[in-house]
Structure 1
């Protein structure tokens, strides 16, 4: 592996699962979608073995992005330093095209939680996240992308709207944004945000990557609905429509299809990736 590969093309990528290593390599040989892949680096925090052998082959064939889920930048004690050290080591080893993590917290007092949890949007938390993003970027030696949260709740006393908070963080630290379209629909159900207004307010120059996925909705009775960002279903038509609107506003960006639960066969996932790819190639042809 010689040097940092090019950024993922403004085409469709796929969250890489071990069961699909061979299928993705076949796509790479044919020049078909997905044209890049993304992995959760925490799944590769070991010294060697078959996972690394496969990832090394794929990294030589396609751009690879690292989407971290464990830094917990919102932890009051700061990022998980052990996670960060392992992430830096893995980045040194594979030189991913992009590195991202979440605007959330998932640890407290040394305890790890299986969720990406929300936080108040205030000057104090902005200061905290800015310090943590600066630290991560310094250790990585490169800018990172920060993903908009998937929120189950909001806090009294918030002094920032979410878009303004993300813009302020990006401009203060030099990080980019990873815009998860599905997260907007989750937050719409849980918090009542208007995803179209949200998309209309975004500064597209800050967005380096887009995610799409599916989510589930739980009916708790009496009209109480809870959206759960489980990545366990196909991308909804509403998500496709919102992606289309976002691309109309900001132009083509790398779009990543996520599926982490109830994973279907590869051909079904490839069909969704190809749909996203068609949306992008149509715009790229128009730009050209």
Structure 2
């Protein structure tokens, strides 16, 4: 997909929030200071009803990020053409400033698995994902951001480093990347890697959006830490520190607070976004001071 065919608009370099039905009314009544809202595409694939009425009203006031969780872009079989058509209809209807999907698979034959599963990083899977990203961008008529996964196992047949795998997809397709900093922390702890080194190697010039979330923690059979990408708590302090480190490399970028389970009241979620906004503003100020020096 060439640059001339990509969708040019972008989200503001602010903190955004996941749009939850329990918060529709308070958002419309109070019009809080939020950079953007993000929704899961699959939740709005019906033709009408209250969810669409609220989303239409809110997108009149705020930029929109559309995040897909069901395309199964890493699957070993063809993409679901009906799903792509539903996505295109949704994009044409709301004209979101950003669309993203996961580097994962969630379908097998005729079944849909309620999880985002990892894939081995091989030349075969690389070629397949490149084809699927190309097909998706052509079908949707816009650029896609591909998200790095959180992982709990490593494949013995993987022959390509994850960052190189993502960078190759972006280089071959013209897609962008979505950098989920919580996913980096989860994978790094689970596989005994250095999260900061991962960020230092990541091609941040390709990143169009950052995600932050809370993780759950347990221990594995050996008694070592095991992190779960749970999206049910505030962002943990180590992820906040890693995010600050990321901003020193990338500069301010649109940043979503993901809180999808045990959703708190609006004020609690908004406070998380305000904390990220403060970090973005601090990095902006720091860079302006360096330029003025």
Normalising by the smaller structure, the TM-score range is over 0.9
Residue 105 (structure 2) pairs with residue 105 (structure 1): yes
Cα offset, 1:219, TM superposition: 2.5
2:256 paired residue number: 256
Task: Quickly say closer, same or farther: Cα 1:50–1:5, change in 2 above 3 A.
Answer: farther
Alpha-carbon distance in structure 2 between the residues aligned to 1:133 and 1:16 = 26
Cα offset, 1:21, TM superposition: 1.4
Q: Could you report, residue by residue, the CA deviation over 1:94-118 in whole angstroms, capped at 9, with x for unpaired residues? A: 1111000000000010110011001
Cα offset, 1:6, TM superposition: 4.5
1:217 paired residue number: 217
Alpha-carbon distance in structure 2 between the residues aligned to 1:186 and 1:27 = 35
Aligned partner of residue 150 in structure 2, secondary structure: coil
Aligned 1:107-146 pairs, distance under 5 A: 107-146=107-146
Indicate conservation of the 8 Å contact 1:21/1:54, yes or no.
yes
1:20 paired residue number: 23
Task: Quickly say closer, same or farther: Cα 1:200–1:158, change in 2 above 3 A.
Answer: same
Alpha-carbon distance in structure 2 between the residues aligned to 1:26 and 1:168 = 45
Out of 9, 26, 30, the position equivalent to 2:12 is: 9
Indicate conservation of the 8 Å contact 1:40/1:69, yes or no.
yes
TM-score (norm 1): 0.94
Aligned residues: 282
Aligned 1:167-178 pairs, distance under 5 A: 167-178=167-178
1:47 paired residue number: 47
Q: Could you report, residue by residue, the CA deviation over 1:39-65 in whole angstroms, capped at 9, with x for unpaired residues? A: 001001111111000000111111001
Aligned partner of residue 193 in structure 2, secondary structure: coil
Structure 2 gaps, min length 5: 1-6, 289-293
2:276 paired residue number: 276
1:74 paired residue number: 74
Q: Could you report, residue by residue, the CA deviation over 1:111-160 in whole angstroms, capped at 9, with x for unpaired residues? A: 10011001110111110000000000001111110000111111002111
124-133 or 19-28, which moves further after superposition? 19-28
TM-score (norm 2): 0.92
1:192 paired residue number: 192
Structure 1 gaps, min length 5: none
2:148 paired residue number: 148
Residue 86 (structure 2) pairs with residue 83 (structure 1): no
Cα offset, 1:35, TM superposition: 1.5
Indicate conservation of the 8 Å contact 1:5/1:95, yes or no.
no
2:62 paired residue number: 62
Indicate conservation of the 8 Å contact 1:71/1:83, yes or no.
yes
Indicate conservation of the 8 Å contact 1:5/1:63, yes or no.
no
Cα offset, 1:166, TM superposition: 0.8
Cα offset, 1:215, TM superposition: 1.0
Cα offset, 1:164, TM superposition: 0.8
73-82 or 52-61, which moves further after superposition? 73-82
Aligned partner of residue 189 in structure 1, secondary structure: helix
Task: Quickly say closer, same or farther: Cα 1:79–1:11, change in 2 above 3 A.
Answer: same
Alpha-carbon distance in structure 1 between the residues aligned to 2:238 and 2:35 = 24
